[in-house]
Structure 1
Amino acid sequence: MESQSYNGYSIWGHAILQQEAILQPERFAASGTITRSGKLVEASGILGYFDTEDEAQHAGLDWARAWIDGHG
């Protein structure tokens, strides 16, 4: 999980390990969360699947920034 501050909000990018079978390569589901003053503002569902934890976390952060830009 990676967090940042953005325009007065705290945003979080999540990477959720998805390993469907032992022989399959690891994949990560991405999601994002937005909070302000310690309270939940919005949370995404699964945004997509990525090969690395970093890519998934960044997708969650990108979604959160876009949500704030569209609702601010």
Structure 2
Amino acid sequence: MQSEQYKGYMLWGHAILQQKEILHSERYAASGTITKVNRVIEASGVLGEFDTGEEAERAGIQWARAWVDSSD
């Protein structure tokens, strides 16, 4: 899980391991969460699937930044 502070919010990027079939390589679903003063402000659904956990976490952070920018 990656996190960063942005415009007074804490942004969280999540990677959820997705392994649909044993013979296929692992994929990671991305999601994002926005908190402020330890309260959840908004959370995404699944944003897509990625080859690495790091890519998925970055996608979650990017979604959270865009949400904050559109809500200010």
TM-score range, shorter chain: over 0.9
TM-score (norm 2): 0.98
Determine what percentage of the aligned residue pairs are the same residue.
Answer: 60
Instruction: State the alpha-carbon separation in 2 of the partners of residues 9 and 68 from structure 1.
Output: 8
User: Which runs of 5 or more structure 2 residues have no equivalent in the other structure?
Assistant: none
The 4+ residue runs of structure 1 with deviation greater than 2 A are none
Alignment of 1:1-72 (within 5 A): 1-72=1-72
Listed one character per residue, the Cα deviations across residues 27-48 of structure 1 (whole Å, up to 9, x for unaligned) are: 0000000000000000000000
Count of residue pairs the alignment pairs up: 72
Structure 1 length as normaliser, TM-score?
Answer: 0.98
Pairwise CA RMSD: 0.4
Whole-angstrom distance in 1 between the partners of 2:40 and 2:16: 19
